[in-house]
Structure 1
Amino acid sequence: MATLPYADYLDDRSITRPEPARVGEGEPSRLRLTGFASIAVPIAGAGLPLALFVPQLYATQFGLSLATIGFIFLLGRIWDVSADPLVGALSDRTRSRFGRRRPWIAAGGLLFGLSSALLFFPPAALVTPAYLGAALFFFYLGWSMIEIPASAWAGELSRHYHGRTRVVSYQALLRAIGLLAVLVLPTILDQVEPGNGTLKLQLVGGFIIATLIPSLVLTLFSVPEPPVPATPPVRQSFWRATSVIFSDRLLLRVLASDAVVTAGQSIRASLIVFFAVWYMGLPAWASGLYLLQFIFGVAAAPIWLRIGTRIGKRQAAISGEIAQAAINIGLLFVFPGGLPLLLALTIAQGLTQGSGNLMLRAMVADVADAHRLRTGHDRTGLFFSVFALSAKLGPAIGIGIALPLIAWLGFAAGPHNDPTALEGLKTVFALGPALAHIIATLIIWRFPLDEAAHAEIRRALDQRDAIPA
């Protein structure tokens, strides 16, 4: 099948551009879109307790060594990263009476629910390293089988440039609610039964399973799955699929920008407790700052939907990243005991939180459309699986840089740090994320796939799909 040279295609300004469709025109209603996005609540709610509570409980209550737990989680993360592109590629190739994405999400939901019960409600008599390893194996597999097809489905749910921003905004809002819940519930429990790690783990696990069942039904049946593209499914090896990914420069730019943004956010998250306790001298606010940021983050998704719809995804992403860079630089002017300015900057951080991630996620489906026009093959699921890697690569980069750097500057967790070491902590906490947001901005500064270009790509795809195979 003949394909258009993508670069020439975008640069041809003589083409008459179709008028972009208005947001909401022919799109799912708010209620249906909320139901579709609701699976983000248990998925997002599972990540934080998995890192915070599971290792602690399995070490203290069941006697597994920290080295063993660390090794098992490392293997689990490697498996998780490997499973994403496999699930993405296979879901692209799936053809069934129920659709491409639904069978994967349904099977993944069952696997995710059962493995969550094993992880968060472990029978003491059966807990061994093998038990933890097997539970994590199926947990991560179920997670990938839900998240990757659901993300691809979200990208296919709207064909319009701003419609996709609307879809991912709802996903971001529900994701923020899930994260907020798993931050609030343990905080409340600490006021009633402080130090009860087992009950805390079961409370969070119960929340995940209780929200999984209705959200899975809503996601599967709230909206129809779009028709399968007329192009045949791609059958190729995993390594060939990987080479295809790394040959798409637009996808690499979106992926690199998101990885840098996530790395900056991880620097802030990994140092915020140290900064609040040892630099600011405000131990009572160690968890409260993170919670406050997330509360305002919940309110941020609808705001950034309006901004992205008005000025475009690229411009909204750039605006959000510049704002976050400025907010983090403002932390240089916070001094010990200066709570009012710190609270103001934390609220501002929450309101801009995820702006870049949100817009970049919405760009992935546009890039997949451009790829399908250029190559003739639909790889939407594969593209979203690769984009998911940045959420896992970013924290590794951020933590891997931030913690060794503050240690090199002389800081150690504890009260005995000299003023130079504390200033080093503050500098990394402020400028590390700021630099990451600036780099992310530069990566997408001249991103060519804007609203007009995407409208023309969709017109060409619709014309080609209308021709009988």
Structure 2
Amino acid sequence: MDAGPIGAHKLSRWQLFTYGQLVVPMAVIGLPLAIYIPPFYSGTLGLSLTAVGFVMMLARLSDVVIDPFIGRWSDRTHTRWGRRRPWIVAGVIVMAISSIMLFVPQMEVSNAYLLIWIAAIYLGYTLIEIPYGAWGAELSEDYHERNRITGSRQIFMLIGLLIAITVPIVASVMTGGGGEKSAASREAMAWLGWLTAGMLPICLILLLSSIGEPKVGYSTPISFTDGMRIAMRNGPLRIVLLATILGALAGSINAGVAVLFFEKVAQLGPSSSILIFVLFFAGVLGSPFWVNIGGRIGKHKGIGVAGFISLFAFAFVPVIIYLVKPAYPGAVFPAMLVITLIQGFTIGAAPILGQSILADVCDLDTIKSGEQRTAFLFAFLAMVRKIFEAVGVGIALPILGWVGFNPQSSTNSSVSLFTLTAMYCLVPLVLWVISTTVIWQYPITHERQARLRAALDRRILRRAARLE
């Protein structure tokens, strides 16, 4: 199925649905990889927690290294089925098999077993994620339509995260645990594994049967070195890159200590899982709003407005902990719930409008480089994001250890608890403010993007005329 030239038509609601829904199984398995695999393989299956952490780090590093290669190879793939679809099909096969092997182990596990299958599932994820993101960026040349495409993807991503949170609870109840079994039990992990493996081929068929790939109209391959040099001279890309680095650091530091903060500082107990669910649910409700706002005031300003609203609310966390909690401890959860609702409503803005911005940056890069290399730029940005996400965790946890914080103790010092609060809120807050300020300077408006597309279309026509 051939979609024809980029931007030849506006995607129907069904096409938006079938494009976005592929991320549901990816989100269903993606969240457990981060929060359930360590307790599952250490607590339930008996491996050393230290060894599990080391294995996961090795697997993640292998994933980071391969990102740019997958992007570059996808850009230069030419088959009768397109450039992106063969890679996505391969990724679905790899991910479906490895999700079963990782979450429903059929034999006695070892460190080597974990390394093989977690590396495989990361590989499958990358084989899908990079070509899939590039495909979405190429589906339209229109400034507003790109917001609709990335908005669809983000809504389904949040739905997948909600499913990932809910499934272990349902599995515990359905298997006789009454909701008391660990979220990392064999039963819960098996449900996640089989659900992912079952959903992936169904979602793939829906995608392939409804969405075609645009024709490549303008592309002259250049060397990797020349390509990187041109990319680093791309001013808008540098802005996106810096904002991504700061945002990844902030998000990683915040997420890496969030559970510890809820348990040791806010002392919310089981109620913290409600906050996580509310965060993602509010994100689903808010995503269409940010698609619309990005089209009205500009994508970068939409991210800025959402960011500053979210950060204003998040800045009240220390107030709740140090002023409200000592006087009215029962008010901590309602106050945190209000903050979470505000943050959740705005959580979709940056992923939706940021990915749409990157599609516009790719137009400029094509003009400057002569090669249509959307997947490579998506992969390069993903690699940078993953590196600084790892750096964030590598900063936060050692600092907590250095000040004497003990996650197994109920009597940590005031200094260590303040440091935990700083890692959860204050440090990310500063980084997010800088990141939001940086993206506010992004120069490609709706009008400039239209001029870029017109210039690129003229080059495509001239090239076609020379080849005739």
TM-score (norm 2): 0.89
Aligned-pair CA distance for 1:270: 2.5
Asked if structure 2 preserves the Cα contact closer than 8 Å seen for 1:53 and 1:197, the reply is no
Aligned-pair CA distance for 1:227: 0.7
The sequence identity of aligned pairs, in percent, is 33
Other-structure match for 1:225? 213
- Of the structure 1 ranges 308-317 and 383-392, higher mean CA displacement relative to structure 2 is found in 383-392
Q: Distance in 1 between matches of 2:46 and 2:223?
A: 45
Other-structure match for 2:3? none
Q: Distance in 2 between matches of 1:131 and 1:418?
A: 40
Is 1:281 aligned to 2:235, yes or no? no
Is 1:108 aligned to 2:91, yes or no? yes
Task: Work out which of the residue numbers 326, 345, 350 in structure 2 matches 1:356.
Answer: 350
Aligned-pair CA distance for 1:143: 1.3
Asked if structure 2 preserves the Cα contact closer than 8 Å seen for 1:273 and 1:287, the reply is no
Other-structure match for 1:16? none
Asked if structure 2 preserves the Cα contact closer than 8 Å seen for 1:321 and 1:440, the reply is no
Task: Work out which of the residue numbers 422, 430, 448 in structure 1 matches 2:443.
Answer: 448
- How do 1:43-442 residues align onto structure 2 when only pairs under 5 Å count? 43-125=26-108, 127-191=109-173, 192-193=176-177, 194-195=181-182, 197-232=185-220, 234=221, 236-237=223-224, 241-335=227-321, 336=325, 337=329, 338-413=332-407, 414-442=409-437
Q: Distance in 2 between matches of 1:317 and 1:114?
A: 37
Is 1:464 aligned to 2:459, yes or no? yes
Aligned-pair CA distance for 1:407: 4.1
What runs of 5+ residues in structure 1 fail to find an aligned partner? 1-23
Q: Distance in 1 between matches of 2:104 and 2:230?
A: 41
Aligned-pair CA distance for 1:358: 2.4
Q: Distance in 1 between matches of 2:270 and 2:110?
A: 36
Other-structure match for 1:19? none
Q: Distance in 2 between matches of 1:412 and 1:129?
A: 26
Asked if structure 1 preserves the Cα contact closer than 8 Å seen for 2:94 and 2:124, the reply is yes
Q: Distance in 2 between matches of 1:251 and 1:449?
A: 10
Q: What is the RMSD computed on CA atoms of the aligned residues?
A: 2.2
The AA in structure 1 aligned to 2:53 is G
TM-score (norm 1): 0.88
Aligned-pair CA distance for 1:190: 4.3
The AA in structure 2 aligned to 1:119 is L
The AA in structure 2 aligned to 1:167 is I
What is the number of residues matched between the two proteins? 443
Q: Distance in 1 between matches of 2:90 and 2:311?
A: 41
What runs of 5+ residues in structure 2 fail to find an aligned partner? 1-6
Q: Distance in 2 between matches of 1:352 and 1:178?
A: 18
Q: Distance in 2 between matches of 1:36 and 1:270?
A: 31
Asked if structure 2 preserves the Cα contact closer than 8 Å seen for 1:334 and 1:341, the reply is yes
Aligned-pair CA distance for 1:64: 3.1
Is 1:30 aligned to 2:13, yes or no? yes
Other-structure match for 1:14? none
Aligned-pair CA distance for 1:420: 4.2
Asked if structure 1 preserves the Cα contact closer than 8 Å seen for 2:42 and 2:48, the reply is yes
- Of the structure 1 ranges 65-74 and 380-389, higher mean CA displacement relative to structure 2 is found in 65-74
The AA in structure 1 aligned to 2:289 is I
- Of the structure 1 ranges 389-398 and 75-84, higher mean CA displacement relative to structure 2 is found in 389-398
- Of the structure 1 ranges 252-261 and 240-249, higher mean CA displacement relative to structure 2 is found in 240-249
Please list the CA deviations of residues 39-68 of structure 1 after superposition, one character each: whole Å capped at 9, or x if unmatched. 111112212211222233333454433333
Please list the CA deviations of residues 17-45 of structure 1 after superposition, one character each: whole Å capped at 9, or x if unmatched. xxxxxxx9931111111111111111122
Asked if structure 2 preserves the Cα contact closer than 8 Å seen for 1:162 and 1:312, the reply is no
Please list the CA deviations of residues 383-432 of structure 1 after superposition, one character each: whole Å capped at 9, or x if unmatched. 01112224423432332233333444553323102344333433432222
